[in-house]
Amino acid sequence: MSENTAEPKQLLHLVFGGELKKLGGVEFRDLEKLDIVGIYPNFETAQRAWKSKAQQTVDNAHMRYFIVHMHKLLDPDTGKAS
């Protein structure tokens, strides 16, 4: 990589999901069965992973996947929690 080319800033995003206790809620039926899809360096790749998992579980109305903006919880410049 040349000196003038800067890498894009990492804005970490977590994609995870599971079966909800009731529709419209955010409480999971079984925490041991949470599906941790992965951690991604930007929103675009996280959204692709989220969409793929959501489409795979479309037949289960209680199954939900979420994107957590980890960069809002952790300051990427200092590595400290905000």
Percent of the chain with pLDDT over 70: 85
Q: Is the pLDDT of residue 78 over 90?
A: no
5 falls within a domain: no
The range of the structural domain enclosing residue 24 comes to 13-81
CATH code, domain carrying 42: 3.30.70.2400
CA distance 2 to 59: 48
Q: Is residue 1 domain-resident?
A: no
CA atoms of 40 and 31, how far apart (whole Å): 22
Measure the CA–CA gap between 21 and 64, rounded to whole angstroms: 11
State the alpha helices, DSSP H only, in 1-82: 43-56
pLDDT for residue 77 = 62
What tokens does 79 get?
A: 């590595």
Q: What pTM did the predictor assign? A: 0.79
What pLDDT was estimated at residue 82? Answer: 57
